[in-house]
Amino acid sequence: MYDRTWVWIEEGWKEGVQGQLLPQGFLHTGEEGVISLFDCCLESLFLVYSNQKFDPCPQIDYFYAMQDADGRISERYDYLEGKAVTDAENPLGVTLPLLPYVEYVFYHKIGNKKRLKEVIGHLESYMTWLAENFQRPNGLYSVPYQACKMGNIRRHDALYTVDFNAAMALAALYMSNIGDILNDKELSFRYKRVYFSLKTRINSMMWDPVKRFYFDLDANEERIVANKHIGCYWTLLAEIPNFEYAEYLIAQLKDPNEFGTDNPFPCLPVSNPDYSVNGEGYRGGVVPFYTYMVIKGLNKYTSSIFARECAIRHMYFILDTLHPDEETVGEVWEAYKPTSEGASISTDGSYTNRKRYLPMLGLTTITLMIENIIGLEISLPRKTVDWMMPSLEAMGIENLSLKRNFITILSNKNQRGWEIRLESEKLYYFTIEILDENKKKTLPIPSGKCSMLIDKL
């Protein structure tokens, strides 16, 4: 699946045309002539592993170049006409504010601090525009439903959606983190204050102590308990719940009567009346982007073993849908069924499931494969590679590109016991943690080939 995804990316890569603002190309996945900020943000989270063969930065830079004087960045642009594409339901083209998170990922996976200095002005203007246009007097944000990217899920008159507000908190958190990287104390403090303000409001207004879940609010700021959906789990990624609240949320991810289906995690829980085993678009569908989001949130609450198990289960459902049997070749989709292989079906025509929608697929088959299934956490500025293994098993990765440095890390059992073989062109610092063995060790890995025996750690 990993190799096949890169082949599909190469087939879908569109070279820029002279006079357009995409000189180095971009991954074209949507309608002809239109580029989507949401798609480009998702793609960036796995294109960072292409060793700049498919450079994700020009895609994001296009949106900075199109930014209005008031800070607005629309979700979609016609790159042939050079203008925003909007509709009556979302006239300003607002979407989930993923840019600060994406730029933080760029920094650690590409290692370019200079880039952060160049884009921070764009990010600040964008955050200011979002606050000026969508933040209400109570401190929460209210946006069109299309901005939340929840497909055909019914929102039952929600005015303040928990997913968008938690995503705004996430954006503020990573703006503060970028301030720390740039050693800009004023920037860091300012966005830390924005973050804690939103965090406090979400916890006090959206958390239901009886249902033990976060819910959307209506115009009267009443919790809409009918609106139970996967978007609540943005709160984990944004580090909003305390550990007590998080335990309640994680328990529902394991509950087969809620979000704990065989293919984790459906956008609506099994207990929701709108849930469908056929998927019904997003209503019971499992969408790789939301599975990615939940898994990354679980990592922040010491649930990495459960997160890895879910990533593996989700990967197998994608694989079984692509190859349902030995003789048949299927496809990959935007949304999958929650309890059996196959694409999510929409019987009422309320949603069209996109075939070979690579921005969703690559999050699982590349990013989750490297970061959660294999378990590698990489930071180029720190020159570190951390490998967390739940238990000893034969696995690893060959020729992973790290900024013109290809590394190989493989674990195998031989006559001498369990051995980790490493190969690199440059020095880096390698941390191995094996949870079952209660072993953890950090070593400098020189250029060339070397190996280590687990028994001697």
User: In Å, how far are 99, 164, 312, 407 from 359, measured between CA atoms?
Assistant: 15, 20, 19, 25
Secondary structure of 286-315 as H, E, C letters: ECHHHHHHHHHHHHCCCCHHHHHHHHHHHH
* Phi and psi at residue 361, to the nearest 5°: -60, -50
pLDDT band at 23 (very low <50, low <70, confident <90, very high): very low
Angle at 117 between CA 113 and CA 122, to 5 degrees: 130
Q: State the amino acid at position 86 in one-letter form.
A: T
Q: What does the pLDDT look like over 133-157, one tens digit per residue?
A: 999 999 999 999 999 999 999 999 9
- Output the six-digit token pair for 174: 């990573």
Q: What does the pLDDT look like over 76-105, one tens digit per residue?
A: 998 878 899 999 999 999 999 999 999 999
Q: How far apart are CA 181 and CA 179, in angstroms?
A: 5
pLDDT band at 377 (very low <50, low <70, confident <90, very high): very high
For the chain, the structural domain boundaries read 1-94, 95-377, 386-456
- Signed CA dihedral, 98, 100, 104, 107: sign only: positive
- Output the six-digit token pair for 266: 């459906």
pLDDT band at 18 (very low <50, low <70, confident <90, very high): low
pLDDT band at 289 (very low <50, low <70, confident <90, very high): very high
Query: Left, alpha or beta for 399 (phi > 0: left; psi -120 to 50: alpha)?
Result: left
* Residue that the structure tokens 């990354």 belong to: 296
Q: What does the pLDDT look like over 195-254, one tens digit per residue?
A: 999 999 999 999 999 999 999 999 999 999 999 999 999 999 999 999 999 999 999 999
- Signed CA dihedral, 273, 275, 276, 280: sign only: positive
* Residue that the structure tokens 């982007």 belong to: 289
pLDDT band at 401 (very low <50, low <70, confident <90, very high): confident
Lowest mean pLDDT among 64-68, 208-212, 316-320, 378-382: 378-382
Mean pLDDT of the chain: 92
95-377 domain in CATH 1.50.10.10?
yes
Query: CA nearest 176: which of 194, 203, 202, 201?
Result: 194
Buried/exposed code over 14-38 (b: 16+ C-beta within 10 A; e: otherwise): eeeeeeebbeeebbbbeeeebbbbb
Task: Tell me which of 327 and 48 has the higher pLDDT.
Answer: 48
Predicted pLDDT at 58: 87
Lowest mean pLDDT among 156-165, 396-405, 431-440: 396-405
Looking at the whole model, is its pTM more than 0.85? yes
Predicted pLDDT at 81: 84
pLDDT surpasses 70 at 447: yes
pLDDT surpasses 70 at 22: no
